[in-house]
Amino acid sequence: MKKTIDGIDHYQMFIGGEWVSSSSGEMIDVINPANEELIARVPAGTAEDGRRALEAAQAAQPKWAAVPARKRGELLLELADRIRQNREHLARLLTLEQGKTYSLALGEIDATVDYIAFPAQCARRIEGEIVPSDEPKEHIWIHRVPYGVTVGLAAWNFPVALAGRKFGPSLTAGNTMVVKPPSITPIATLEIGRLAEDLLPPGVLNIVTGGGSTIGKELVSNPITRLVTMTGSVETGRQLYHLAAENITAVRLELGGKAPFIVMEDADLDHAVSCAVVSRFLNCGQVCTCNERMYLHEAIHDAFVEKYVEKVKALKIGDPFDPATDIGPKVSRDEVEKIDAMVKQAVADGCELVCGGKRPEGEMFQKGFWYEPTVLVGARNDMAVMRDEIFGPVVPIAKVSSFEEALALANDSDFGLAAYVFTHDMRRVERLVEELDFGEIYVNRPIGEQRQGFHNGFKLSGVGGEDGKHGLENYLQKKTFYVRYG
């Protein structure tokens, strides 16, 4: 799986039940975002490696689909249990490679277990249908069957959880999968292969690493692949859509978000403030469903901002392994430079910088990818900071005079993933069903979906969706029989 050279772990890829190096022999450096130190190297997989992984998945799929659903579920539950038993080790790797706090990394591993266990527990609930025929002595049977070979592309913010979110239901449904974690945060996901290698049949789960333009392109465009599921940026989703179109490959995309956080005059202010803090700064703001723009009713705007800024200034930024730390580093230098440019542009456009807006001071912040939690007020919907995904510890705030104005401004976006609304007026809540164009809406509560729900976005935020019974159904296609028995 790996060997240590000069104190650095050099990983291999998991293909067909074996650990293999890239056909090119080239490696990718994995950097600790807290201090910019090299922590591991992984293979720079090639198109040839991608084909090899797909062929291994293709060879394994018929036998895997023939395994009774109950048995497939039991094997995946065993894998979930092994992940649980390695919770601390995997969480440590996550913190080292991605920079999230260790407590959040532990939570990610717990979520990974749940993402695998939930569909595995539903294995015996995969149902078909029998419907009446228009013809005499005939039945119509509709079976749900696997697609075949699937590909799972995970994002760098929650790489292990997103991998489990994809291969859990896919394998439960009888598909096989090739998983490609992001090159910037791949090592904890590769460790899943170690836990699966003596449990799952060879080729059922494969884990490869490398660039999107090389091995990633091959995985999506190869005709062996019958379904691709990806979590990532809108731009990457567009490219994937084009590549998949050649073979009419099914796609499931969970893309960017620009979640509005609406607080009305009748809301519980202290509760809304606390929810707004965690919903923005969780994982240094690197969550697709994070609070990305706030709309505060004018009656509570000033009081809310005062309370909010006080809590934001109290957040501790620092060593992600320190239990007292609230915010770790951003994942990369490019990410820090992007959000810093957005803040500077917002100020130039007329926003007032209330706090943050720079790299924190101190010896420990001389290296690494750090940015202070930042609050901007006086934002308008025509500003880039209100329209483009920030994906960092920065939040712009706008003032509104009515519920109708808040809805109109919230909907005035290319994105439609998550939204937050705080009000005690149930008439307003009921209106959200028809009037707020987002796939996942949190009412009077902070960030965090549940496995039995359904996670999906509208507009540029994606197609398909994940989690719950509907997420499992996304990995199944329908096969219809017209059975004449007379």
Predicted confidence (pLDDT) per residue in 327-343, tens digit: 999 999 999 999 999 99
- pTM metric for this prediction: 0.97
DSSP string, 115-181: HHHHHHHTGGG---EEEE-SSTTEEEEEEEEE-SEEEEE--SSSHHHHHHHHHHHHHHTT-EEEEE-
Residues 76 and 223 in one domain: yes
Task: Answer whether residue 450 is part of any domain.
Answer: no
Alpha-carbon span 233 to 220, nearest angstrom: 16
Q: Are residues 178 and 320 in the same domain?
A: no
Residues contacting residue 130 through CB under 8 Å, at least 6 positions apart = 139, 140, 141, 142
How many domains does the chain fold into?
A: 2
**Element holding 237 (H helix, E strand):** helix 234-245
Residues 251 and 348 grouped into a single domain: no
Residue 142 included in any domain:
yes
Residue 486 has pLDDT above 90, yes or no: no
Q: Which amino acid is present at 67?
A: V
Whether residue 405 is predicted with pLDDT greater than 90 in this model: the reply is yes
Average pLDDT over residues 368-397: 98
Q: What is the pLDDT, as a whole number, of residue 370? A: 98
Residue 276 sits in the same domain as residue 151: no
CA distance 270 to 318: 26
Give the other-Cβ count within 10 Å of 429's Cβ.
15
One domain for residues 223 and 78: yes
Tell me: do 137 and 27 sit in the same domain: yes
456 occurs within a structural domain: no
Q: Is residue 288 part of a domain?
A: yes
The pLDDT score that the predictor gives to residue 158 is 98
The pLDDT score that the predictor gives to residue 320 is 98
Claim to verify: residue 238 and residue 272 sit in the same structural domain:
no
Residue range 358-387: average pLDDT? 97
- CATH code of residue 339: 3.40.309.10
Q: Name the residues annotated as catalytic.
A: 254, 288
Secondary element (H or E) of residue 38? strand 38-43
Residues 228 and 339 in one domain: no
Q: What secondary structure letter does DSSP report for 212? A: I
- Considering the domain architecture, whether residues 202 and 325 belong to the same structural domain is answered as no
Q: Do both 398 and 471 map to the same domain?
A: no
Question: Could you give the C-alpha distances from 236 to 233, 254, 255, 280, 400, in angstroms and in order?
Answer: 5, 11, 9, 24, 34
Residue 399 within a domain: yes
User: For residue range 140-199, what is the model confidence (pLDDT) as tens digits?
Assistant: 999 999 999 999 999 999 999 999 999 999 999 999 999 999 999 999 999 999 999 999
**Mean predicted confidence (pLDDT) in 379-383:** 98
Inside any domain, residue 385: yes
For 330, residues 6+ apart whose C-beta sits below 8 A from its C-beta are 33, 99, 284, 286, 336, 339, 369, 370, 371, 392
Domain that holds residue 204: 2-255+461-482
Q: How confident is the model at residue 111 (pLDDT cuts 50, 70, 90)?
A: very high
Whether residues 172 and 216 share a domain: the answer is: yes
User: CATH number of the domain that 218 lies in?
Assistant: 3.40.605.10
Q: Do 372 and 409 have their domain in common?
A: yes
348 part of a folded domain: yes
Rounded distance, CA 464 to CA 456, Å? 7
According to the model, what pLDDT value does residue 1 have? 87
Cβ atoms of 116 and 168 closer than 8 Å: yes
- Domain membership flag for residue 47: yes
